[in-house]
Amino acid sequence: MNAPLLLQGKTVLVVGAAGRIGRVIVDAVLSAGGRAVALDTDAAGLKALIDTHGTAALEGATVDMADRGSIDGALANAHDRFGVVDGAVNTAYPRNPRYGRHFFDVEYADFCENTGLHIGGYFLFMQACARYALERKQPFSLVNLSSIYGSMAPRFDVYAGTAMTMPVEYAAIKAGLEHMTRYVNAYMKGRGAAFRANCVSPGGILAGQDGQFLARYGEHCLSKGMLDAKDVTGAIVFLLSDAARHVVGQNLIVDDGFST
């Protein structure tokens, strides 16, 4: 199989497609020969993304990840447009305006709202994708974007001297997401659908962070340190492809060795 065309003929939904990572995943899907359906709450961002590519292989639609009807509608529309949906990548990152405070500053209501928005939306999307695969007897590969902090404790030393922290909500969300991904695979076994779900857990992604933080972070890595979003796309394309058809319920870490 020609590696650059691992997704030839496949249709992939990308949730959070207007975001920093989502935009790059859309590029990777198209470059691998696939068709991409870009989903986001940001209508202007979606329009800019589609205008940039200008290809019939890319469609866009707004979606509400807290609304089952909105998700089901996106799947149905993608199926009607391209004839089949082969997979999806969920990079959504819903949160309220008070997300990201230091541990002792997090209020109970905000903790519950942020964890509920995030993992609740991922649950609804996983449920919809699994139902789609089951009803249509359609092989389907779902990739959830997790994080190294879903499976390891934070290295708080890298944040010293900065205003940054690793939000407690984030740790709870990503750990829960990884287990929920294993759960849905176990639940779908023996039900007559070749549905599989996996996680990709990136290390930190460059986004103009504090220089002290970047230097400390890099000390724990092999060569690059903080990653560009495109550094994660190879793992995602692989998991979406037939080359990974027997990879089920795994968490693929891409972090330049930060977690080792």
Question: What is the C-alpha to C-alpha distance for residues 5 and 20, in angstroms, rounded to an integer?
Answer: 23
Strands 195-202 and 58-62: unpaired
127-143 burial, b at 16+ Cβ within 10 Å, e below that, comes to: ebbbbbbeeeeebbbbb
93, 122, 149, 170: which one is catalytic?
170
The verdict on whether 187 is a catalytic residue reads no
- 140 forms beta bridges with 195
Question: What is the C-alpha to C-alpha distance for residues 195 and 249, in angstroms, rounded to an integer?
Answer: 11
Collapsed DSSP state (helix, strand, coil) of residue 98: coil
Tokens representing 124?
A: 């609804």
Question: What is the C-alpha to C-alpha distance for residues 189 and 9, in angstroms, rounded to an integer?
Answer: 26
Collapsed DSSP state (helix, strand, coil) of residue 101: coil
Question: What is the C-alpha to C-alpha distance for residues 77 and 39, in angstroms, rounded to an integer?
Answer: 12
Enumerate the H helices of 2-139 as residue ranges.
Answer: 20-31, 43-53, 68-82, 108-136
Question: What is the C-alpha to C-alpha distance for residues 8 and 26, in angstroms, rounded to an integer?
Answer: 14
DSSP string, 205-257: B-SS--HHHHHHHHTTSSSS-SBPGGGGHHHHHHHHSGGGTT--S-EEEESTT
Query: Catalytic residue numbers?
Result: 170
